[in-house]
Amino acid sequence: MKRFIFWMLLPTFSIVAVLTYYPTIKGVFLAFEDYTVFNFQNIQFVGWQNFENIFMDPNFFIALWNTVWWIAFSVALQFVLGFALALLMKEPFKGRGIYAGIVFYPWALSGFALGILWSWLLNGQFGLINDILIKLHLIQHGINFLSNPFYAFISVIAVNVWYGVPFFAIMILAALQSIPNSLYEAAEIDGAGAISKFFNVTLPYIKPTVVSTLLLRVIWVMNFPDIIYGMTRGGPAGATNILATYMINIVYYETDYSKASAVGLIIVSVLMIYALIYLKFTSTYELGEI
C-alpha cells in the first residue's frame, strides 16, 4: 500500500520539488549574489548589495506605489462589477448559458494578447475608443492614452478590470446559485424585503466564497504583468510599472539576474505578509477548503 501511494504521488511531487522548490531556494541565494549575463563564471556572494541598488532606484518606489494602486483599484472594481454581473445573471433568462459563454470568454484569453489588442483600441489616431468618445462629443481630439503617464495608468487598470470581471462573476454566480431557496422563503415569512434578504441571507451565505476569492485575486493581480506588458511594457518612463513588470524589465533589458531575483524576493515577502494578515483578520475557517 505504501509503495502504491509513493509511486502514484512521485511524478507530481518530484517535478514540483525540482522545478518549484529547488529554484525558489536558488532564487533566494541568487538575490545575494552578482549573477549577470556577462558574469557566469565567477559568481560571488555580495550580501545586501542588490537590495541596496534597488532601494537607490527611484523607479522601484514608483513601481511599488503603482502596485498598491494597481491592486486596490483592479480588485475593488473587478469585485464590484463582477458581483453586479452575477446578481443580474442569477435569475434564469432565455439564452443565459450562451450569454455566460460569451461574456466570460475574455477570462480564458491571453492577458498579453489582450494587452496588445487594447493598445490598438486605445490608439491616439486610429483607435476605436477615441473615435467613440469624439462621436459622443465627450472629447474633441483623440487622446494618446498610452503615452501620457496618467492616462496610461488609468488605461491599464481599466483593461485589467475588463479582463477580471468574469472571474469574480463566475465564482460569485456559482455561490449565489448554491443558496437554498428555503432560506429566502423563510426570510419572506419573517417579512424580509429584497434589501433585507440581500443583507441577511445572500451576503452571509456567499461570504466564504468572497473571502477566498479576494485572497487569491490579490495574489494573482500582484503577480500578473501580462496585460501591462502587452500594453505599455511599463512605460511611458516607468509610469505603468508594477513590481512584476519592473522585475521582468530587469531580466530582459538589464539582464541582471541577481537584481531581478532580489525584486522577486521582495514581491514574495510582501505577499507572505499580506496573506498572513489577511488570514488573521478573516479567520481561516471562512476560507473553506481551498
Cα 204 from Cα 210, distance rounded (Å) = 10
Q: How far is CA 58 from the centre of its chain?
A: 24
* Among candidate residues 149, 273, 167, 258, the one with its CA nearest the CA of residue 220: 167
Q: CB 174 → other proteins: shortest distance, Å? A: 4
Q: CB 189 → other proteins: shortest distance, Å? A: 18
Where does this chain touch other proteins (CB under 8 A) — which range of 51-59, 64-72, 96-104, 149-157? Answer: 96-104
Site residues (CB under 8 A) for other proteins, limited to 98-117: 99-106, 108-114, 116-117
Contacts with other proteins, 118-137, as mask; x by CB under 8 A: x-xx-x-xx-x--x------
Contacts with other proteins, 244-283, as mask; x by CB under 8 A: x--xx--xx----x--xx--xx-xx--xx--x--------
Cβ pair 270, 191 in contact under 8 A: no
**For 209-213, which contacts have Cβ atoms below 8 Å and span 24 or more sequence positions?**
209/171, 209/172, 209/174, 209/175, 209/288, 210/79, 210/172, 210/175, 211/282, 211/286, 211/287, 212/286, 212/287, 212/288, 212/290, 213/167, 213/168, 213/171, 213/172
Instruction: Quote the cell numbers at residue 135.
Output: 462621436
Coil/strand/helix, residue 259: helix
Other beta carbons less than 10 A from residue 192's beta carbon: 16
If the CB atoms of residues 142 and 149 are measured against other proteins, the closer one turns out to be 142
Interface residue with other proteins, options 72, 141, 178, 269 (CB under 8 A): 178
Interface residue with other proteins, options 86, 229, 238, 239 (CB under 8 A): 229
Question: Interface with other proteins includes 153 (CB under 8 A)?
Answer: no
With residues binned 3-state (H G I as helix, E B as strand, rest as coil), the percentages for the chain, rounded to 5, are 75, 0, 25
Interface residue with other proteins, options 164, 226, 239, 249 (CB under 8 A): 226
- Alpha-carbon distance values, 100 to 77, 85, 171, 195, 241 (Å): 20, 10, 12, 26, 33
Per the listing, cell 503617464 goes with 149
Where does this chain touch other proteins (CB under 8 A) — which range of 57-65, 183-191, 196-204, 222-230? Answer: 222-230
If the CB atoms of residues 237 and 275 are measured against other proteins, the closer one turns out to be 275
Question: Interface with other proteins includes 198 (CB under 8 A)?
Answer: no
Cα 54 from Cα 49, distance rounded (Å) = 9
Q: CB 79 → other proteins: shortest distance, Å? A: 15
Amino acid at the residue 134? I
Q: Which residues share a beta bridge with 36? A: 39, 256
144 phi and psi angles, rounded to 5 deg:
-85, 80
Q: CB 56 → other proteins: shortest distance, Å? A: 21
Contacts with other proteins, 53-82, as mask; x by CB under 8 A: ------------------------------
If the CB atoms of residues 63 and 170 are measured against other proteins, the closer one turns out to be 170
If the CB atoms of residues 21 and 55 are measured against other proteins, the closer one turns out to be 21
Interface residue with other proteins, options 74, 160, 202, 213 (CB under 8 A): 213
Interface residue with other proteins, options 89, 152, 201, 218 (CB under 8 A): 89
Where does this chain touch other proteins (CB under 8 A) — which range of 62-70, 183-191, 220-228, 276-284? Answer: 220-228
